[in-house]
Amino acid sequence: MVYTRNTKGKVALVTGSSRGIGRDIALKLAGVASAVAVQYHSNRETALDVAGMIQNEGSRSAVFRADLTKEKSASSLVAKVQQEFGRIDILVNNFGPLIDKHWKKTSTEEWEFTLRSNLLSALFCIQASLPGMRKRKWGRIINLGYSRVEEIAAFRQITPYAVAKTGLLIVTRTVAVSEAAAGITVNMVSPGLMKGSILPKDTHIPAGRLGELDDVSQAVLFLASEEAGYITGANLIVAGGWKL
């Protein structure tokens, strides 16, 4: 299913879009947006490949290097995308690596990096993108979480990641309430166990399979569409029933 009504002509920025879920989201958005900005940190070649594929789909694209753990770099990214394409209508905060390490062995530096990359990076991009969205009375912000983001539970191997993503859900709902009257929706898409990801011991999935990139991308496409204009502050779990 592809949602196209009133999305052609929109400009999208997808962070962490040189590979993985971010790459797939960027490529899928190429079918419904006039331009898609590809953000990367270190691998320019893969980012250029993604931009080339987007252009082959008939949409404009460009690559932008940014260290999103730093506020100035994130703000500069948003400014450069706006300078290149004139606006940002759809912001997808996908960037956010996971460190699989017992909390007792996790260093202060690893804590800070995880919190900055999974929580503050999204906040920085949101803050920089909101003024333009408010001016146009239209915006779609989609943050990537994980399927257990609403559980206040013990996560011994991914403690900083769980803390950061739960914090991001709080930010998602807070900004959603604050910006609803301005025509801006803010939602979260939370993938479950994915093909190629780190798998826990309990991998029983009622749907009978691991998640595919397309499962997540289609959820993002829906929330970015005009049809989803009355949905805000939601956390859409894409996990095939895992852990319900």
Active site residues: 161
Read out DSSP for the chain? ----TTTTT-EEEETTTTSHHHHHHHHHHTTT-SEEEEEESS-HHHHHHHHHHHHHTT-EEEEEE--TTSHHHHHHHHHHHHHHHS---EEEE---------GGG--HHHHHHHHIIIIIHHHHHHHHHHHHHHHHT-EEEEEE--TTTT-----SSSHHHHHHHHHHHHHHHHHHHHHGGGTEEEEEEEE-SBTTS---S----TTSS-B-HHHHHHHHHHHHSGGGTT--S-EEEESTTTT-
